[in-house]
Amino acid sequence: MVTQTVNTGDNGVTIQMTVRNVAQDRLNWRHNEYNLPTQSTSDRRTYSISGTIQKRDAGVYICYESNRFDEARHGMQRLIVRGVAKQIAGVLTALVSVITVTMEEFVMMRLGDVSVLQDSWEHTVLQVLNILLFTL
């Protein structure tokens, strides 16, 4: 099975099948076992997802000949949608939050107490590592 990988937030994607000995007007598409509406395009060997790509666009796309799906006369392609943009935004937001809180703690501490400063810094590094490990 052919696989195509995109990211959430990407702008549109086209899935294409190689078809032999079938009239294009007899081709239909399915996505995760649900029939897709026919697109107004002359080339029905392709299926286009327009707009912003979302997680729900992921799955298996099947191009098949009308009334012959049960005869296994079809092609399949898997679309993987990674949530990279959302994950990175989440990590950055969390890191900014941790750094802001830590800076406020530093300001409120007595600067002469190095052990408290060191403990707080180690705690911050652990928080950042936890955020990275559990977000990605």
Say what the pLDDT of residue 52 is.
Answer: 92
Please report the pLDDT score of residue 110 as a whole number.
47
How confident is the model over 37-92, as pLDDT tens digits? 888 777 888 889 999 999 999 999 988 888 776 666 678 889 999 886 556 666 66
Return the higher-pLDDT residue of 12 and 97: 12
pLDDT score of 57: 93
- Asked if pLDDT for residue 114 goes beyond 50, the answer is no
On the 0-12 / 13-18 / 19+ scale of CB atoms within 10 A, 24 is exposed
Instruction: Provide the pairing of β-strand 2-7 with 34-35.
Output: unpaired
